[in-house]
């Protein structure tokens, strides 16, 4: 089974999105949200389940490996918060 060296940790595996958030025919879609996911870095274990399950591929990671959300395209579906095992992501009402 393949002679390559196995990664030692999840952070050695490069993140490769199936798609990239981009301006579509409807423009930037973040204004559709009623709720926005907010990250509590104190609870985050950097497991990146939020990134895996995000249907819009708007979650990336910062230099410290914490998830960052591109709010210009996040539609506020809440899948990331639902999948977060530590509840580090919670949904908050948008202020307009």
**Do the beta carbons of residue 29 and residue 55 sit within 8 Å?**
no
Q: Full-prediction pTM beyond 0.85?
A: no
Number of domains into which the chain is organized: 1
Six token digits for residue 30: 């973040």
Strand 67-69 and strand 35-39: pairing?
A: unpaired
Q: What is the CATH number of the domain that holds 84?
A: 3.30.70.20
DSSP state for residue 43 in the 8-state scheme: T
Range of the domain at 77: 26-93
Q: What is the pLDDT along the chain (96 residues), one digit of tens a residue?
A: 455 666 566 566 665 555 565 666 667 777 778 999 999 999 999 999 999 999 888 999 999 999 999 999 899 999 999 999 999 999 999 886
What are the residues facing 39 on neighbouring strands?
Answer: 89
Q: Please report whether residue 18 resides in a domain.
A: no
**C-alpha distances in Å from residue 76, one per residue of 9, 10, 46:** 30, 27, 20
Q: Please report whether residue 75 resides in a domain.
A: yes
Cβ count near 62 (within 10 Å): 9
Q: What pLDDT is attached to residue 44?
A: 97
Q: Please report whether residue 19 resides in a domain.
A: no
């Amino acid at each position: 089974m393949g002679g390559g060296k196995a990664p030692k940790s999840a952070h050695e595996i490069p993140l490769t999105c199936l798609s990239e958030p981009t301006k579509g025919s409807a423009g930037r879609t973040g204004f559709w949200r009623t709720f926005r996911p907010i990250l509590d870095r104190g609870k985050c274990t950097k497991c990146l389940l939020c990134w895996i399950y995000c249907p819009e591929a708007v979650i990336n990671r910062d230099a410290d490996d914490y998830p960052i959300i591109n709010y210009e395209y996040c539609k506020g579906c809440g899948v990331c918060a639902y999948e977060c095992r530590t509840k580090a992501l919670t949904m908050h009402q948008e202020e307009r």
